[in-house]
Amino acid sequence: MSLKASAAPTPLAGIQRIVFLGDSITQAGDYVTDMECWLLSQGQQIEFINVGLASETAADLLPEENADHLKKFGFVRPGIRARLDRALAATKPDLVVACYGMNDGSSLPNNDTGLKRFSEAITRLRDTAFKAGAKQVVLCTPPIHDSAHNPDPHEQNLVAFSQWLISKRAEGWNVVDIHSPMRREIDEIRKTNPSFEFQTDGVHPNRKGHWVMAREILTQFLGANLGATTSAESFFKNNGPAIRALVDQRRRALFSAYMGSIGHARPGVPGGPGQIPAPSLSEATAQASQIAEQISPLLK
Protein backbone atom coordinates (compact mmCIF):
# COMPACT_ATOMS: atom_id res chain seq x y z
CA MET A 1 0.00 0.00 0.00
CA SER A 2 1.48 3.36 -0.99
CA LEU A 3 0.12 6.54 0.55
CA LYS A 4 0.80 9.95 -0.97
CA ALA A 5 0.14 13.45 0.27
CA SER A 6 1.83 16.79 -0.29
CA ALA A 7 0.96 18.59 2.94
CA ALA A 8 1.66 17.65 6.54
CA PRO A 9 -1.35 16.48 8.55
CA THR A 10 -2.91 19.48 10.29
CA PRO A 11 -1.75 18.39 13.80
CA LEU A 12 1.84 18.62 12.53
CA ALA A 13 1.62 22.12 11.06
CA GLY A 14 4.78 23.94 12.15
CA ILE A 15 6.30 20.80 13.70
CA GLN A 16 9.91 20.16 12.70
CA ARG A 17 11.04 17.83 15.49
CA ILE A 18 9.17 15.12 17.43
CA VAL A 19 10.70 13.76 20.64
CA PHE A 20 9.56 10.51 22.27
CA LEU A 21 9.75 9.93 26.02
CA GLY A 22 8.90 6.70 27.78
CA ASP A 23 10.21 3.49 29.31
CA SER A 24 11.77 0.36 27.78
CA ILE A 25 8.88 0.02 25.33
CA THR A 26 9.70 3.41 23.87
CA GLN A 27 13.44 2.74 24.07
CA ALA A 28 12.86 -0.39 21.93
CA GLY A 29 11.29 2.08 19.53
CA ASP A 30 9.66 -0.04 16.84
CA TYR A 31 6.48 2.02 17.04
CA VAL A 32 8.57 5.17 16.63
CA THR A 33 10.18 3.81 13.47
CA ASP A 34 6.79 2.73 12.11
CA MET A 35 5.41 6.23 12.63
CA GLU A 36 8.36 7.88 10.91
CA CYS A 37 7.93 5.53 7.96
CA TRP A 38 4.33 6.67 7.53
CA LEU A 39 5.37 10.31 7.44
CA LEU A 40 8.08 9.52 4.91
CA SER A 41 5.47 7.77 2.78
CA GLN A 42 3.53 11.04 2.89
CA GLY A 43 6.52 13.00 1.66
CA GLN A 44 7.15 14.53 5.10
CA GLN A 45 10.67 15.05 6.44
CA ILE A 46 10.12 15.63 10.17
CA GLU A 47 12.95 14.84 12.58
CA PHE A 48 12.27 12.03 15.05
CA ILE A 49 14.30 11.71 18.26
CA ASN A 50 13.65 8.82 20.63
CA VAL A 51 14.99 9.15 24.18
CA GLY A 52 12.92 6.51 25.96
CA LEU A 53 14.71 4.88 28.90
CA ALA A 54 14.29 1.30 30.07
CA SER A 55 12.95 0.82 33.64
CA GLU A 56 11.83 4.46 33.86
CA THR A 57 8.71 5.60 35.70
CA ALA A 58 6.69 8.77 35.46
CA ALA A 59 6.32 8.97 39.25
CA ASP A 60 9.18 9.17 41.74
CA LEU A 61 9.23 5.86 43.64
CA LEU A 62 9.79 5.43 47.35
CA PRO A 63 12.77 3.30 48.51
CA GLU A 64 10.45 0.49 49.59
CA GLU A 65 8.78 0.54 46.17
CA ASN A 66 12.17 0.19 44.52
CA ALA A 67 13.48 -2.49 46.87
CA ASP A 68 12.50 -5.52 44.77
CA HIS A 69 13.90 -4.00 41.59
CA LEU A 70 17.13 -3.08 43.36
CA LYS A 71 17.50 -6.60 44.72
CA LYS A 72 16.77 -8.25 41.37
CA PHE A 73 18.68 -5.97 39.01
CA GLY A 74 21.14 -4.07 41.20
CA PHE A 75 19.74 -0.60 40.55
CA VAL A 76 16.59 1.36 41.34
CA ARG A 77 14.10 2.39 38.71
CA PRO A 78 14.87 5.89 37.47
CA GLY A 79 12.12 8.49 37.29
CA ILE A 80 11.72 10.83 34.34
CA ARG A 81 11.78 13.91 36.57
CA ALA A 82 15.51 13.39 37.24
CA ARG A 83 16.43 13.91 33.57
CA LEU A 84 13.43 15.67 32.05
CA ASP A 85 14.86 19.20 32.01
CA ARG A 86 18.11 17.96 30.46
CA ALA A 87 16.26 15.84 27.90
CA LEU A 88 14.11 18.75 26.78
CA ALA A 89 17.06 21.15 26.67
CA ALA A 90 19.11 18.72 24.58
CA THR A 91 16.36 17.74 22.12
CA LYS A 92 14.39 21.00 21.83
CA PRO A 93 11.13 19.36 20.72
CA ASP A 94 8.28 20.99 18.85
CA LEU A 95 6.12 17.99 19.74
CA VAL A 96 6.56 15.59 22.67
CA VAL A 97 5.02 12.12 22.57
CA ALA A 98 5.14 10.41 25.98
CA CYS A 99 4.11 6.87 26.89
CA TYR A 100 4.43 5.92 30.57
CA GLY A 101 2.57 3.65 32.94
CA MET A 102 3.91 0.13 32.55
CA ASN A 103 6.58 0.49 35.26
CA ASP A 104 4.40 2.75 37.39
CA GLY A 105 1.68 0.11 37.17
CA SER A 106 3.90 -2.56 38.68
CA SER A 107 5.43 -0.24 41.30
CA LEU A 108 2.73 2.10 42.61
CA PRO A 109 0.01 0.94 45.00
CA ASN A 110 -3.18 -0.31 43.39
CA ASN A 111 -5.39 2.36 44.93
CA ASP A 112 -6.36 6.03 44.69
CA THR A 113 -2.99 7.08 46.09
CA GLY A 114 -1.16 5.30 43.28
CA LEU A 115 -3.40 6.90 40.67
CA LYS A 116 -2.92 10.32 42.25
CA ARG A 117 0.86 10.01 42.15
CA PHE A 118 0.81 8.86 38.53
CA SER A 119 -1.55 11.64 37.47
CA GLU A 120 0.53 14.29 39.25
CA ALA A 121 3.69 13.01 37.58
CA ILE A 122 2.14 13.03 34.09
CA THR A 123 0.69 16.50 34.66
CA ARG A 124 4.12 17.73 35.75
CA LEU A 125 5.75 16.18 32.67
CA ARG A 126 3.22 17.85 30.37
CA ASP A 127 3.56 21.23 32.05
CA THR A 128 7.36 21.03 31.97
CA ALA A 129 7.38 20.19 28.26
CA PHE A 130 5.22 23.21 27.43
CA LYS A 131 7.35 25.50 29.59
CA ALA A 132 10.44 24.23 27.73
CA GLY A 133 8.94 25.38 24.44
CA ALA A 134 7.07 22.37 23.08
CA LYS A 135 4.15 23.42 20.88
CA GLN A 136 2.24 20.20 21.49
CA VAL A 137 2.31 17.27 23.92
CA VAL A 138 0.69 13.93 23.10
CA LEU A 139 0.20 11.51 25.97
CA CYS A 140 -0.39 7.82 25.29
CA THR A 141 -2.14 5.36 27.53
CA PRO A 142 0.14 2.39 28.31
CA PRO A 143 -0.08 -0.97 26.57
CA ILE A 144 -1.83 -3.78 28.41
CA HIS A 145 -0.18 -6.04 30.98
CA ASP A 146 -0.89 -9.52 29.65
CA SER A 147 -1.05 -11.83 32.64
CA ALA A 148 -2.40 -15.30 33.27
CA HIS A 149 -4.29 -13.63 36.10
CA ASN A 150 -6.51 -11.14 34.36
CA PRO A 151 -7.18 -8.59 35.65
CA ASP A 152 -4.14 -8.59 37.94
CA PRO A 153 -3.17 -5.58 40.11
CA HIS A 154 -0.67 -4.43 37.49
CA GLU A 155 -3.30 -4.40 34.77
CA GLN A 156 -5.83 -2.83 37.12
CA ASN A 157 -3.41 0.06 37.61
CA LEU A 158 -2.93 0.41 33.84
CA VAL A 159 -6.69 0.53 33.32
CA ALA A 160 -7.01 3.25 35.97
CA PHE A 161 -4.13 5.24 34.46
CA SER A 162 -5.68 4.93 31.01
CA GLN A 163 -9.13 6.00 32.15
CA TRP A 164 -7.67 9.05 33.87
CA LEU A 165 -5.65 10.02 30.81
CA ILE A 166 -8.67 9.68 28.52
CA SER A 167 -10.72 11.82 30.90
CA LYS A 168 -8.24 14.68 30.35
CA ARG A 169 -9.36 14.99 26.73
CA ALA A 170 -12.26 17.00 28.10
CA GLU A 171 -9.71 19.61 29.22
CA GLY A 172 -8.11 19.79 25.78
CA TRP A 173 -5.27 17.35 26.33
CA ASN A 174 -4.02 15.36 23.32
CA VAL A 175 -4.41 11.75 24.50
CA VAL A 176 -4.02 8.63 22.35
CA ASP A 177 -5.58 5.48 23.75
CA ILE A 178 -3.34 2.48 23.13
CA HIS A 179 -4.53 0.34 26.02
CA SER A 180 -8.17 -0.17 25.02
CA PRO A 181 -7.56 -1.02 21.34
CA MET A 182 -4.80 -3.46 22.31
CA ARG A 183 -7.06 -5.16 24.84
CA ARG A 184 -9.95 -5.40 22.36
CA GLU A 185 -7.71 -6.76 19.63
CA ILE A 186 -6.03 -9.42 21.73
CA ASP A 187 -9.36 -10.55 23.20
CA GLU A 188 -10.86 -10.85 19.70
CA ILE A 189 -7.90 -12.77 18.27
CA ARG A 190 -7.86 -15.19 21.20
CA LYS A 191 -11.40 -16.28 20.41
CA THR A 192 -9.89 -18.33 17.59
CA ASN A 193 -6.21 -18.38 18.58
CA PRO A 194 -5.97 -18.72 22.39
CA SER A 195 -2.17 -18.75 22.39
CA PHE A 196 -1.79 -15.42 20.56
CA GLU A 197 0.22 -12.76 22.37
CA PHE A 198 1.58 -9.28 21.82
CA GLN A 199 4.00 -9.60 24.77
CA THR A 200 5.94 -12.79 25.44
CA ASP A 201 6.78 -11.57 28.94
CA GLY A 202 3.45 -9.84 29.45
CA VAL A 203 5.09 -6.40 29.34
CA HIS A 204 7.22 -5.70 26.26
CA PRO A 205 5.29 -5.68 22.96
CA ASN A 206 6.66 -7.56 19.98
CA ARG A 207 6.63 -6.07 16.49
CA LYS A 208 2.90 -6.72 16.19
CA GLY A 209 2.29 -4.96 19.50
CA HIS A 210 4.41 -2.00 18.45
CA TRP A 211 2.43 -1.83 15.23
CA VAL A 212 -0.77 -1.46 17.29
CA MET A 213 0.87 1.42 19.17
CA ALA A 214 1.98 3.15 15.96
CA ARG A 215 -1.38 2.55 14.30
CA GLU A 216 -3.32 4.13 17.14
CA ILE A 217 -1.11 7.23 17.30
CA LEU A 218 -1.26 7.64 13.53
CA THR A 219 -5.02 7.24 13.33
CA GLN A 220 -6.13 8.94 16.56
CA PHE A 221 -3.72 11.87 16.54
CA LEU A 222 -2.82 12.33 12.88
CA GLY A 223 -6.03 11.09 11.30
CA ALA A 224 -4.18 8.62 9.06
CA ASN A 225 -6.32 6.36 6.90
CA LEU A 226 -4.35 3.14 7.09
CA GLY A 227 -7.00 0.85 5.64
CA ALA A 228 -5.93 -2.78 5.97
CA THR A 229 -2.24 -1.94 6.37
CA THR A 230 -0.55 -4.10 9.00
CA SER A 231 3.10 -3.06 8.76
CA ALA A 232 5.26 -0.03 8.08
CA GLU A 233 6.98 -1.82 5.21
CA SER A 234 3.73 -1.82 3.24
CA PHE A 235 3.48 1.99 3.39
CA PHE A 236 5.79 2.02 0.39
CA LYS A 237 5.08 0.69 -3.09
CA ASN A 238 8.73 -0.32 -3.44
CA ASN A 239 11.67 -0.96 -1.11
CA GLY A 240 9.57 -1.05 2.07
CA PRO A 241 11.80 -3.41 4.10
CA ALA A 242 14.96 -1.57 3.09
CA ILE A 243 13.49 1.85 3.90
CA ARG A 244 12.26 0.75 7.30
CA ALA A 245 15.62 -0.83 8.16
CA LEU A 246 17.42 2.41 7.34
CA VAL A 247 14.93 4.53 9.29
CA ASP A 248 15.45 2.24 12.28
CA GLN A 249 19.24 2.48 11.91
CA ARG A 250 19.02 6.27 11.91
CA ARG A 251 16.80 6.27 15.00
CA ARG A 252 19.28 4.09 16.90
CA ALA A 253 22.27 6.24 15.95
CA LEU A 254 20.58 9.40 17.20
CA PHE A 255 19.33 7.61 20.33
CA SER A 256 22.83 6.74 21.51
CA ALA A 257 24.15 10.24 20.97
CA TYR A 258 21.26 12.04 22.63
CA MET A 259 21.21 9.68 25.60
CA GLY A 260 24.93 10.20 26.01
CA SER A 261 24.41 13.95 25.94
CA ILE A 262 21.49 13.88 28.39
CA GLY A 263 22.90 11.41 30.90
CA HIS A 264 20.92 9.31 33.38
CA ALA A 265 21.30 6.83 36.25
CA ARG A 266 20.22 3.62 34.48
CA PRO A 267 23.06 1.13 33.80
CA GLY A 268 23.24 -0.66 30.48
CA VAL A 269 22.02 2.22 28.32
CA PRO A 270 24.19 4.84 26.56
CA GLY A 271 24.67 7.82 28.86
CA GLY A 272 24.33 5.70 31.99
CA PRO A 273 26.94 4.76 34.62
CA GLY A 274 29.74 2.52 33.44
CA GLN A 275 28.93 2.89 29.74
CA ILE A 276 31.50 3.63 27.08
CA PRO A 277 31.24 7.20 25.77
CA ALA A 278 28.42 7.59 23.27
CA PRO A 279 28.99 9.16 19.84
CA SER A 280 28.81 12.94 19.87
CA LEU A 281 25.72 14.67 18.55
CA SER A 282 27.72 16.01 15.62
CA GLU A 283 28.92 12.50 14.74
CA ALA A 284 25.41 11.07 15.02
CA THR A 285 23.91 13.91 12.99
CA ALA A 286 26.45 13.29 10.24
CA GLN A 287 25.62 9.58 10.29
CA ALA A 288 21.90 10.37 10.16
CA SER A 289 22.49 12.58 7.12
CA GLN A 290 24.35 9.78 5.39
CA ILE A 291 21.49 7.39 6.08
CA ALA A 292 19.02 9.96 4.75
CA GLU A 293 20.99 10.00 1.51
CA GLN A 294 20.57 6.24 1.29
CA ILE A 295 16.82 6.48 1.95
CA SER A 296 16.10 9.22 -0.56
CA PRO A 297 16.53 7.22 -3.80
CA LEU A 298 14.53 4.32 -2.36
CA LEU A 299 11.50 6.59 -1.94
CA LYS A 300 11.28 7.34 -5.67
The one-digit pLDDT tens for each residue of the chain (300 residues) are 333 444 567 899 999 999 999 999 999 999 999 999 999 999 998 999 999 999 999 999 999 999 999 999 999 999 999 999 999 999 999 999 999 999 999 999 999 999 999 999 999 999 999 999 999 999 999 999 998 777 799 999 999 999 999 999 999 999 999 999 999 999 999 999 999 999 999 999 999 999 999 999 999 999 999 998 999 999 999 999 999 999 999 999 999 999 999 999 999 999 999 998 999 999 999 999 999 999 999 998
- Which fold would CATH assign to domain 10-298? Rossmann fold (3.40.50)
CA distance 229 to 109: 39
The maximal CA–CA distance of the chain, rounded, in angstroms, is: 56
pLDDT in the model for residue 10: 83
Taking alpha carbons only, the member of 258, 232, 246 closest to residue 288 is 246
pLDDT in the model for residue 253: 96
CA-to-CA dists, residue 106 to 145, 152, 155, angstroms: 9, 10, 8
Q: Tell me the pTM.
A: 0.95
Question: Where are the strands (E) in the chain, listed by range?
Answer: 17-22, 47-50, 95-99, 136-140, 174-176
CA-to-CA dists, residue 33 to 97, 232, 241, angstroms: 13, 8, 12
